[in-house]
Structure 1
């Protein structure tokens, strides 16, 4: 009831702001832009996944056979309304989405349907739904949730703002999780844009990842202590030669954790993209010292081919001397408790983010339009990571993975504009270690295949 009350009050507040703005700014003429400049769009998305995972038997020193980890077919539909601006000042963004499983024979936390637990910290199943346990395959929850319900404002050409359930869009260190929907913060943001300079401030009281229906507060590394509210400040400056500097900081009003990043992005005259980056996390509840990750990203197109090459080095010394730590760029230790503005996405299963780990990634993709197959592209990618450790009894880390992928944008017919995709990954962990310990974000060998169909539509 409390969540329902809070949702109702927030919706009433957002609608009230828009209604008030329309009455203040001018009756009919200025209010026309609210609907005339609006758009309504959405999508129907299908996701099928089959992922198997092995283990490690410490008694025999051998890997164990792979068993089902994820095995599901899910459908997610979303519908969004983006208004114009009343009096060229105030508007409204709304988005709702619905998810359900066609089948699920694996873990319920597959992110494409609602996980039927209260939040990512307690993970308490809803006893009224027959969910036998938080990891039971039946502990999913078909349903509907709000992604966005935010009043939006612009003041002249330089200042913008949002308030409600929203996804941050100004420079900062706070980001969202994604499935086919986005995570949502409760709060607001304000942005300033002038010439080459962009500034942003974000403040949030709660968050929800897209596989939860209701928002929840931020907690410290112990998963129990209230960490207060989240805030972020950030700025981007584009120099006259095109080089972009992105700097941001985020923290919690009552919590210990702090994030910061520095990113430099530049594209040469020859089309070579280069981006050195630094991510920092300070959290005495998780790390023995300041954690950080150095990254270097590059990309270039050669005709129909697109090539990426990236590398990272991570320092994340766990507070528990018996464990090898990992660093994730977000304001909560718990996955799904928040997220950060992190640019690195290798899509090769592991996060390659353990203490002392050096990792590298490469990808080549080809567009086949020039060969008479418009809309079709395919590619390969690979990644590896390695680290030595001083933790007693722990094996040195060596992990690697390879992927093949293909996409087809349907060119005509009833499904014109839809996209069909396939992604297959084979991940190998040569480290003698069990899943999640002593390496805190490591699992054993996996085989993973994803098949997707996305069907976007526009009503207005």
Structure 2
């Protein structure tokens, strides 16, 4: 196959690049009140809720997506501005504004600031069934690498290539590969290198390859593998299917997420002091069921975790430090906890009710309940110089409630107002992230109110 020529005329460049371009954006408002119960022995607030995140934040973004000059090459650029309208006394980043630190490895947990952040600047190309993006990018293919979100996404510094092949009635195949040497979460303004669990050892790059096959009969198969150089391998497989039950489709999926580090012999050490995360293959497996009956949408989901070793919980991102990268995980309950402790099994039931039959178009209410049991501590980490107490077992649960309204007509058409409430209960008495439970915190009440107003300029 011969390569396409790049010697096209100027009118051809301008016609495709300009005429198919789009400039969109959004105006966003976030208000949040999150309090956690203080279970630190000797604290004057012991047993009481204390402020964790109290803030009101304004965001606005612009996102330019060009057409393709000569049907071959284009450019995407996007950025956002943030302003803090109100900030509580808690110092850590609220993840909707900008951190007072410019990048993760300079983070001192001193709070937030306003400002501007460029989160996308990508050269893109397409030819036949193939496509490519390079620069500041968001994964758009089938890989295990993902980004954090505020109101806008984080970004990888790197390149992604992929292809899509349609075989008619026999199905369609999609595949992509992503390579990156730096990342930034959306609340940081500068790119930063990947690091291992000790927050010091540099990881030269991460990369991932993924495949998706749609059989066009409601059966979809997905698989992916990711690597952090000389540190971690990850694996993903998913089967999705839907079939009619009582006149409506029952949506079913099985999902497998695996991780295996390539460091050390899993000797006993405090979390973060070694890069030996897991003892053997760690995994999270899940099953999801979904069913829509008129104005009611039901979800019933469950997952179970095996994560022996120093870390003590399964983490979907390929580098363990906060905001250092992110990974794909299609099971999410918006219920505070990740329900991902070693040995933990958890289940979620939820329902959303569309109120259109009550002459309330665009209104919906929802509720959910999650329960996790048999959470174990990390098996080889130390607490106060001793092996974490392996006799511990902790259950956790959460109620969630949601009210949402999407404006249906007028100048504000498409604007979303969303109120989400979480009441999380840790059934143990350990203080936050202690006792060998390195990703489990204490009781929490979280109220989030968001407004999202999208717009199109051209």
Q: Which residue of 2 aligns with 1:373?
A: 360
Residue pair 2:419, 2:450 contacting (<8 A) in 1 also: yes
Q: CA deviation at 1:355?
A: 0.1
Instruction: Provide closer, same or farther for how the CA distance between residues 250 and 393 of structure 1 changes in structure 2, counting only shifts above 3 A.
Output: closer
Deviations 1:29-58 (CA, angstroms, capped at 9, x unpaired): 343111101111000000000011012244
Greater Cα offset, 26-35 or 288-297 = 26-35
The equivalent of 2:347 in structure 1 is 360
Q: Which of residues 268, 274, 279 is equivalent to 1:288? A: 279
RMSD: 1.9
1:104 alignment partner in structure 2: 87
For structure 1, which runs of at least 5 residues remain unmatched after alignment?
1-20, 125-133
Match of 1:301 in 2: 292
Q: Provide the C-alpha distance between the structure 2 equivalents of 1:394 and 1:56, rounded to a whole number of angstroms.
A: 20
Q: Structure 2 length normalisation: TM-score?
A: 0.88
With over 3 angstroms needed to count, the CA separation of the structure-2 counterparts of 1:22 and 1:94, relative to structure 1, is: farther
Distance 1:407 1:109 in 2: 26
- 1:73-127 deviation line (CA, Å, top 9, x unaligned): 001110011111100111111111111210111333210111122433x344xxx
The equivalent residue for 2:101 is 117
Specify whether residues 174 and 180 from structure 1 end up closer, same or farther in structure 2 by C-alpha distance, changes over 3 A only. same
In structure 2, the residue matched to 1:4 is none
What is the distance in 2 between the residues matched to 1:387 and 1:379? 28
Matched, 1:215 2:191: yes
Q: CA deviation at 1:22?
A: 11
Normalising by structure 1, report the TM-score: 0.88
Preserved contact between residue 147 and residue 185 of structure 2 (Cα < 8 Å): yes
Higher helix share: 1
Aligned length: 421
Q: Distance in 2 between matches of 1:111 and 1:190?
A: 29
Counterparts of 1:30-429 in structure 2, within 5 Å, are 30-58=13-41, 64-105=47-88, 106-120=90-104, 122-124=105-107, 134-136=108-110, 139-156=111-128, 158-195=129-166, 196-253=172-229, 255-269=230-244, 270-283=248-261, 284=263, 285-319=276-310, 325-387=312-374, 389=376, 391-392=388-389, 395-429=392-426
Q: How far 1:271 moved relative to its partner? A: 1.2
- Distance in 2, matches of 1:394 and 1:434, equals 17
**SS where residue 400 of structure 2 aligns?**
strand
* 1:173 and 1:250 in contact (8 A); partners too: yes
Does the CA contact (< 8 Å) of 1:45 and 1:76 recur in 2? yes
Q: Distance in 1 between matches of 2:422 and 2:175?
A: 39
Aligned to 1:17: none
Q: What does residue 384 of structure 2 align with?
A: none
